[in-house]
Chains A and B, each alone.
Chain A
Amino acid sequence: MTYDALIVGAGAAGMAAALSLAGRGHSCAIVDREGFMGGILPQCIHSGFGLHLFGEELTGPEFAARLETEVALAGIPTFLNTTVLSIERPDPARGSDDPRDSDTRGAFRALLSSSIDGVRSVECRSVVLAMGSRERNRGNIRIAGDRPAGIFTAGLAQRLINVDGYLPGKRAVIIGSGDIGLIMARRLSLSGAKVEAVVEIARYPSGLARNIAQCLDDFGIPLYLSHATLRIVGKDRVTGVEVAPLVNGAPNVDRAFTIPCDTVLLSVGLIPENELSSRMGVPLNPATNGASVDSRLMTAVPGVFACGNALHIHDLVDRVVGEATRAGSFCADWLERSRGKTAGERGSGGQILGEISVRAGKNVRYTVPSSLDRARAQTLSTRSMVPMDHGNFCLRDGESVVFEKKLSWVRPGEMIFAEIPEGALGSLRTDAALEASIDPEETA
């Protein structure tokens, strides 16, 4: 059979997109390389998920269970312990197996591999990329030094402790003050290890203040802000981490000191996982490392949508569900559109003709999507480069402000969502190009 949609990834994004599509009556199948649903959530045993979506503070596995129950109720087939080796784009010459398909687009052909079901081909009319993210590692940030055992990314350590039941080390230094590192500081402490320090190169911690409080302060773990990690020391196993304070933006080597430890956890950021997307020929946005998408969360490959951490790194899983639900809904729209029309009338630069491109301006790291529809109400996600107590998010066409939203408590670690109302962009010229900016406001 040919599925209407193949969803790659059974995490929050994949499940939400699948539910959205199934709710519109489309056939879909979810594929995941793990042996369980939920993506990264089952190993996130701490609470803090679901406040927006369910009005409760759930643990990761509980949040996943809510979605998993709905997926089972909806009867959506899931292929677990299965890797998508490749997805071939439709070949009009090949056509679709289904006589109901009157268009000449043909179906995508996905090659799946698992030990239970062997190697098989699955056809689908559309694809939702929801593979989540991978962790930035030592090589990416180039920490010099020895190559001993005992260096883990925080997520790997989390898996080892919370699912496999092993302690990666007894005395740890955590590099990076993102939430995952802070959570692991607490988890290691509760598991019988000593966390000697969290080392952060920026002036501000990148994780939430509440996590600093309940993960570091509660356990008396020192946080070194504005400190660079110079190198890791240790022949066979880690023996220490050498750090130095930043002075005028550069490490002051004279004031370097070594923190003895046997374990280093790296919590230095997530990168959208797009091996499969690249191989399929889906163009990526260098600012996010996720696919470049239009206002329908559709990539430059017609029928291929992206959502969740695979598209851009989120802070709250509740928002991932929101975005993935929208992606599923746009995918359903696309599937339902009259079959005769070819999808994706592309202009130069790859955006849908009729969509207005958005570029990142002052203080904006990126926007998702990178183009907006003229007529429809839509959601734009963005992040600020700098913290602000109060700010103003603007979309400008040249000098004129087309949309703005007042913001308070702006943090680079908190994604900003702008709901752009229907018709807001209707009066723009056909060749308009918008610039997004976040300007600090002095007044309270």
Chain B
Amino acid sequence: MAEYVCVVCPRGCALMVGDGPDYAVTGNACPRGAAYGRSEATDPKRTVTATCRAVLPEGVSDPRLPRRVPVRTTVPIPRARVGELVAALLRAEVTLPTRVGDVVIADWEGTGASVIVTRDIALTVE
């Protein structure tokens, strides 16, 4: 029996998850919570959000532009690998301008999760 706080929505239900092979979940207020409980017990995953270094194109220089580009994974990745991905992302470079959805890394390490840009950043600062 294990206890988890569900992070799927702001309610944060206190989940009780039984042992395998059933991994029965109680305490959830919705089916997504049940799925989360089972996932936490068997193969915990997290959505990763981070920033990459913003790179300006040749000839462009403007200290008012953001120096970081926010990104996220398209789907959760194994929790154990979060630190590894974040470290890689922090070093990675993304050239401005950006649109939400620009792909930074496609299918990272075969996890099925891609990393996409989450902010529209234009080159012109008014």
The short answer to whether A and B are in direct contact, CB under 8 Å, is yes
Report if B6 contacts A (CB, 8 A). yes
Which of B4, B54, B83, B118 lies in contact with A61, CB distance below 8 A?
Answer: B118
User: Is there an interface contact between B10 and A212, defined as CB atoms closer than 8 Å?
Assistant: no
User: Is there an interface contact between B79 and A62, defined as CB atoms closer than 8 Å?
Assistant: no
User: Is there an interface contact between B68 and A163, defined as CB atoms closer than 8 Å?
Assistant: yes
Specify which chain B residues have a CB less than 8 angstroms from the CB of A399 in the assembled complex: none
26 contacts between A and B (CB under 8 A): A42-B70, A42-B119, A45-B51, A47-B47, A47-B72, A51-B9, A59-B118, A61-B118, A162-B51, A164-B66, A164-B68, A165-B67, A190-B50, A190-B82, A190-B86, A192-B90, A209-B12, A210-B6, A210-B7, A210-B8, A210-B9, A210-B10, A210-B11, A213-B5, A218-B46, A218-B79
Q: Which of A42, A116, A165, A409 has the most CB of B within 10 A?
A: A165
Specify which chain B residues have a CB less than 8 angstroms from the CB of A42 in the assembled complex: 66, 70, 119
Report if A284 contacts B (CB, 8 A). no
Specify which chain A residues have a CB less than 8 angstroms from the CB of B10 in the assembled complex: 48, 51, 208, 210, 315-316, 414
Specify which chain A residues have a CB less than 8 angstroms from the CB of B90 in the assembled complex: 191-192
Report if A81 contacts B (CB, 8 A). yes
Report if A252 contacts B (CB, 8 A). no
Specify which chain A residues have a CB less than 8 angstroms from the CB of B12 in the assembled complex: 208-213
Report how many residues on chain A are interfacial, defined by Cβ distance under 8 Å: 39
Which residues of B, 88-123, contact A by the 8 Å Cβ criterion? 90, 100, 118-120
Report if A35 contacts B (CB, 8 A). yes
A48 to B10, CA, bound (A): 8
Which of A35, A46, A68, A165 lies in contact with B68, CB distance below 8 A?
Answer: A165
Interface size class of B (residues with CB under 8 A): 20 to 34
User: Is there an interface contact between A61 and B50, defined as CB atoms closer than 8 Å?
Assistant: no
A217 to B5, CA, bound (A): 10
User: Residues of A with Cβ closer than 8 Å to B?
Assistant: 35, 42, 45-48, 51, 57-59, 61-62, 64-65, 68, 80-81, 116, 161-165, 190-192, 208-214, 217-218, 315-316, 409, 414
A58 to B53, CA, bound (A): 21
Residue of B with least CB distance to A80: B126
Residue of B with least CB distance to A215: B7
Report if B125 contacts A (CB, 8 A). yes
Interface string of B29-69 (1 = CB under 8 A from A): 00000000000000000110111011000000000101110
| New A-B contacts (5) at CB < 8 Å, excluding given A61-B120, A62-B100 | A45-B72, A81-B126, A162-B70, A164-B68, A191-B90
CB of A80, distance to nearest CB on chain B (Å): 5
User: Is there an interface contact between A35 and B125, defined as CB atoms closer than 8 Å?
Assistant: yes
A51 to B86, CA, bound (A): 24
